[in-house]
Amino acid sequence: MSPVLTDRHGFVLLPGSTVEKIEDSSRFVVSEVMTVGTAPVVYLLKDGKGNVVDASLVMLTEEEKEGSAWERATFCGVCFNYYDGGVTWFKTTFDHPKRPSVMSACDACLCNIEPSTLPEIAWVA
C-alpha cells in the first residue's frame, strides 16, 4: 500500500488531470510529479511553465470532476498520507503512539497496535 497523489481536497490526481492553482486560478495538466519525504509524502507538480507547485495547493477542476470517474482517497490521521484503500475509521478518537486524538489510520500505522486498545470501527476504506 502506497500513498496516492491527491489535490487539497483528497481527490486522486492522475497524469493528464487538469488542476487549478489556488493561488492565482491558473490551470495546468498534471504531467511531471516529484515526491519529497514520507510522513507525509509531499507531492510536487511541474506546471508546464517551469514552476513547481505543491499538490496541496491545487484543486481538481469542476470540469475534470464532471467529465471523468474521479475518486476520493482516504486520509490517515497518523502519517497524514492519502490512500486508495487500507484505511480504518473509528467511531471515536484514540491516542496513537505517534499522534494523539486520531480517528483514522492506515494499515501500516495500525501495525503493532494491540487491537483490543482501539475504539469501535466505524468503517474501513
Q: What is the pLDDT of residue 68?
A: 61
Which residues, 6 or more positions from 56, have their beta carbon under 8 angstroms from its beta carbon?
Answer: 7, 8, 42, 43
Q: Whole-angstrom Cα distance, residue 80 to residue 51?
A: 25
- The percentage of the chain sitting over the pLDDT mark of 70, rounded to a whole number, equals 98
Q: What is the pLDDT of residue 50?
A: 84
Which three cell numbers, joined as nine digits, stand for 25? 486560478
Q: What is the pLDDT of residue 72?
A: 87
Choose among 19, 14, 22, 21: nearest CA to 71.
14
The helix or strand, by DSSP H or E, that contains position 64, with its residue range, turns out to be helix 62-67
For the entire predicted model, the pTM comes to: 0.82
26-66 residue pLDDT tens = 999 988 899 998 878 999 998 888 889 999 999 988 887 77
**70 pLDDT more than 80:** no
Q: Which residue has the higher pLDDT, 2 or 104?
A: 104
CB 89 within 8 A of CB 43: no
CB 21 within 8 A of CB 52: no
**93 pLDDT more than 90:** yes
